[in-house]
Structure 1
Amino acid sequence: MNRFQQLTDSLTIIAIFIVITLIALLVFELGYRYGRWWQERTPEEKEGPTGMIVGSLLSLMAFLLAITMGMASDRFHKRHALVLEEANSIGTTYLRAGYLPEKEALLSRKFIEEYVLLRTGSGDTDEVSSRIAQSVVLHEELWRTAEQLAKNNPHSPVLALYIESLNDTIDLHETRIAAGIYSRVPATIVILLLLGSMLTMGMVGYNAGLTRRRSPVTAIVLIGVLAAVITLIIDLDRPQGGFLKVSQQPLIDLQQQISPSTSSSQ
C-alpha cells in the first residue's frame, strides 16, 4: 500500500467528499476569475475553441470515470464472492473434521469455530492485522493435527478429503488478503482521475470567465456529482472503513450453524 492509499484510507468517506468538493469549487472559481481577467486584458481576442476543448475534457473525464468505476466495482464484487466461497470451504472443512478420530475431531472443530469468529470480524487496520495473525496461528494448529494423522494413516481416503478442504480454506485466506489489501485500483489512476477532474473544472471556470456567463447552480451540481462519483470509486476500492462494506453474512450464518450457543451469547 503506497502513501496515497494510506492517506485516503485515513480519511472518512465524508471527509474525502468534502475535500474534493471544496478543491473543485476553488479551482473553478480561480479559472473563472482568470478567464475574466484575460478577457478584460485582451478584449479584441475572440473566445476561440475553448468551449470545444471543455466539451472534450468533460467527455474524456466521463470515459475515465466509467473505466475506473468498473475497476473498483469488479474488485468489490470479487471480495464479496470470496466471502461466500470461504464460508463454503470452512463449512466443508468443519463437516469433514468429523472423519477424524474423536479427540482430533473435537479439537479441530473447536479451532474452526474460533477461526470463523475471526473471519466474521472487521475493524481498523490494526485489528485486521491482529485477526490475520491469529488466523495463521489456527492454520498451523489445524495443519499440525492433520499432518500427524496423515503420517499415522497415509492411505486413509476420508483423511485425504479433510486435508483437501483444509488446504482450500488456507488458500482462500491468502486469496482474501490479496483481494482485500493488495488488489486495489492503482493509485496512479486515482491520482490521474483527481488531477484530470480539477483541470477540467478549472477549464470550465475559465470558459465561463471568457464568456462572462456562469451559473453557480450548474457549477455546484456538476462539482457535487463529480465529487460523489470519485468518492464512490474510492469507497468501493477500500477494504474497510467506508459506507460500502462487503457483507460477512455467509460467514455469520456459518457461525450460527456450527456454534449456535456461542452466536446467541454474543
Structure 2
Amino acid sequence: MFTEIFNRTDAIVLTVVLFFSMLLISWFGNRVRKLVDQRLPVSDADGIKGLEGGMLGLLAFVLAITFGISANKYERNRDVIIAEANAIGTAVLRADLYPDTIRQAFRIDFEQYVEKRIRFYTTGADVQTIIQAKKEAAVISDRIWKRAAGASKLTGMLIPSNQMIPSLNEMIDITTSIEAVQKSRVPDIILLTLGILALTSSFLAGFEAKRMVLRDWLVMTGFCLLTCLVIYVILDLGRPRRGLIRSEIGEQAMIELRQMFHP
C-alpha cells in the first residue's frame, strides 16, 4: 500500500513534504537539546558533533549511490529508445528490397507502427493511453511479421527475407527490453532509507545547536533545500514519463522516423 501511494505521488510533492519535515524535525531536535540541558549536566558536545558528521557523510554516500542508480536508468531508457528507432529504421529500409507491391504494403504498416510507438512514448503518464498504444502497436507488428513470413515463401524472395526477418526480430524483441527498463526503479527501501537519513541528520543538526538564531536557520534551510533538490532529481530521473526530466533525445529519434515516409 505504501509503495503504491509513494509511486503515484509526484516527485515535487514528496520533496516539498520532506523539506518542511526536515525543518520541523530540526526545530524539534533543538527543543530536545534545550530540555536535555535543563535536566542533565552539560557535557562536551564533541561526541554529538562527530555523530552528526558521520550521519551527514552517510547521507552523502547514500545520495551518491541513489543518484547513480537513477542516472543509469535514465541513460538506459534513452539508449533503448534510440536502439528501437534504429531497429525500425533498418527494417523500413530493408522493405525496399521487395517488389513494389510488397514494399508499399510494408511501408504502410511501418508508418502506422511508428505512429503507435510515438504515441506510446509521448503520451506521458496516462496509463490507459499507454496500454492502448502498446496493444495497437503489437497488432501492427504481428501483421508485419505475418507479411514477411508469407513473402518468404514466394519464389525469389530468399535474399529480401533473409535481410528483413532478423530486423523484424530485433524490432519486436526490443519492446520487451523497453518495458523492463521503464518499469525498473530505485528500490523503495533505498529511497525510504534516504528519507530517514535526511530526517535524522536534520534532527542531529538541530540538537547540536544550543540555540537556533536567524543565521542558524538560514544554514539549516539551505541544507534542507539542497538535500531535497538532489532527492527531487533522483526521483525525477527514475520517472521518465513524469516530471521535468524526459528522454527527449530518444523520443526525438523515434519522431524523426516520420521523415522516412514523408521526406
Match of 1:263 in 2: none
- Out of 24, 32, 35, the position equivalent to 2:33 is 35
The separation in 2 between residues aligned to 1:255 and 1:41, in whole angstroms, is: 74
Cα–Cα, structure 1 residues 154 and 200, in superposed 2: closer, same or farther, change >3 Å? farther
Alignment equivalent of 1:66, drawn from 53, 64, 68: 64
Query: Aligned partners of 2:5 and 2:156: how far apart in 1?
Result: 51
The letter for the 1-side match of 2:13 is: A
Cα deviation digits, residues 208-236 of structure 1 (max 9, x gap)? 2xx33550000000000000101100000
1:11-46 alpha-carbon deviations (Å, 9 max, x no partner): 333322211211111221111111211111114444
Name 2:130's counterpart in structure 1. 128
Query: Per-residue deviation at 1:64?
Result: 1.0
- Is the CA contact 2:30–2:208 (under 8 Å) kept in the aligned structure 1? yes
* Aligned partners of 1:13 and 1:243 also within 8 Å: no
Supply the distance in 1 between the matched residues of 2:2 and 2:252 (Cα, whole angstroms).
32
Name 2:206's counterpart in structure 1: 205
* SS at structure 2 position matched to 1:239: coil
Q: Hey, what does 2:47 align to over in structure 1?
A: 49
SS at match of 2:152: helix
User: What residue in structure 1 maps to residue 182 of structure 2?
Assistant: 180
Shift of 1:154: 9.3
Task: State how many pairs are aligned.
Answer: 255
Matches of 2:154 and 2:5 in 1, distance apart?
A: 52
Task: Provide, for residues 231-257 of structure 1, a one-character-per-residue CA deviation record: whole Å limited to 9, x for no partner.
Answer: 100000013111000011111111133
Q: Name 1:108's counterpart in structure 2.
A: 106
TM-score normalised by length of structure 1: 0.89
C-alpha displacement of 1:3? 5.1
CA contact (8 A) 1:118 1:135 kept: yes
Structure 2, unpaired ranges of 5+: none
Task: Tell me: CA distance 1:44–1:221, structure 2 relative to 1, closer, same or farther (3 Å).
Answer: closer
The 1:115–1:38 alpha-carbon spacing in structure 2 relative to 1, beyond 3 Å, is same
The CA deviation string for residues 181-200 of structure 1, in whole angstroms up to 9 with x for no partner, is 2x211121111111111111
Q: Which residue does the alignment assign to 2:81?
A: 83
**Partner residue, 1:264:** none
1:1-266 alignment runs, 5 A limit:
4=3, 6-47=4-45, 49-121=47-119, 122=122, 123-124=124-125, 125-152=127-154, 156-181=158-183, 183-208=184-209, 211-213=210-212, 215-247=216-248, 248-260=251-263
CA distance 1:44–1:198, shift in 2 (3 Å) = closer
Shift of 1:71: 1.0
CA deviation after TM superposition for structure 1 residue 114, in Å: 1.4
Q: Which amino acid aligns with 1:258?
A: F
| Aligned residue type for 2:194 | L
- After TM superposition, the structure 1 stretch with the greater mean CA deviation from structure 2, 220-229 or 183-192, is 183-192
String of CA shifts for 1:120-166, please: whole Å, max 9, x gaps.
23222222222212221112111111122224459702211111111
Moved more, 133-142 or 242-251: 133-142
Contact 1:54 1:200 in 2 (8 A): yes
Could you tell me the percent identity over the aligned residues?
Answer: 26
Runs of 4+ in 1 over 6 A off after TM superposition: none
Instruction: Please say if residues 57 and 200 of structure 1, whose CA atoms lie closer than 8 Å, have aligned partners that are also in contact.
Output: yes
Q: Which moves more between the two structures, 192-201 or 56-65? A: 192-201
Whole-angstrom distance in 2 between the partners of 1:190 and 1:101: 56
